[in-house]
Amino acid sequence: MYKHLLIRNIRLIEVIEMVKVFIDPGHGGTDPGSVGNGLREKDLTLSIATRIKDILLIEYNNVSVKMSRTQDTFPSLNDRTNAANAWGADFFLSIHINAGGGTGYEDYIYTSTNQITKTYQDHIHSEVMKLINIQDRGQKTGDLHVLRETDMPALLTENGFIDNVNDAAKLKTSSFIESLARGHVNGLVKCFNLTKKSTAVYHTVVSGDTVYSLSNSYGSTVQQIKDWNGLDSQYTITVNQKLRVK
């Protein structure tokens, strides 16, 4: 007599948690924020924040993004932090443009915060500064509503001075906005160990792009971009040309 053993295959299902990033484009609607050199802060913050969102969702796995506004509206400060808290965000990122006669990039965390938030600030500050040719004004702390009233690690970034002619000239270029967005994303990738989707990434060339700057932005080598796109020995690219960059 034989004993028949019934062996059941047990499938182990790994539950993958999504990283929740809440992005807050500063000001909006009736509040233009700082104004100078033909620019309005509310427009720039929305452009940078939207690009950060798009890069995260298109290029990375297991990340979910919500924004405090996606159009020219004005959520109150309470609206912004309440929305992030209710969603259970893992990180709150507030995008701003500076004013007051200075120049450069700086970022803020709350005056009394934990080491995780400080580490996240370190990562994002470092990655932004790698991609932008602008003065480093340092990593700072401040008692700001969006940093104080959020239940998760929070960072507010000041991306150049709208009333500085040189900073404003950069902020008027698509390539600088792209570099700012990429820097923020690269920092978030380090913070949360995000992984790239296994698909090729393409970039439409804008004024000011070079193969070298694109290689820095997308984490590829100059030689890879040259080979993928059959570029000549001078690495010639033209505006509106679609390049594989990853």
As annotated, the active-site residues are: 158
Beta carbons of 119 and 90 less than 8 angstroms apart = no
CB-side neighbour CA atoms (13 Å) of 194 = 25
Length of the chain: 246
Name the 3-class secondary structure at 160.
strand
Q: Give the Å distances, CA to CA, from 44 to 32, 74, 205.
A: 10, 14, 20
Name the 3-class secondary structure at 99.
coil
d(CA 62, CA 46): 23
Per-residue tokens: 56 = 């995260």
Cβ-proximal residues to 143 (8 Å cutoff; 6+ apart), any chain = 110, 111
Cα angle value 212/215/219 (rounded, 5°): 155
Cβ-proximal residues to 240 (8 Å cutoff; 6+ apart), any chain = 204, 205
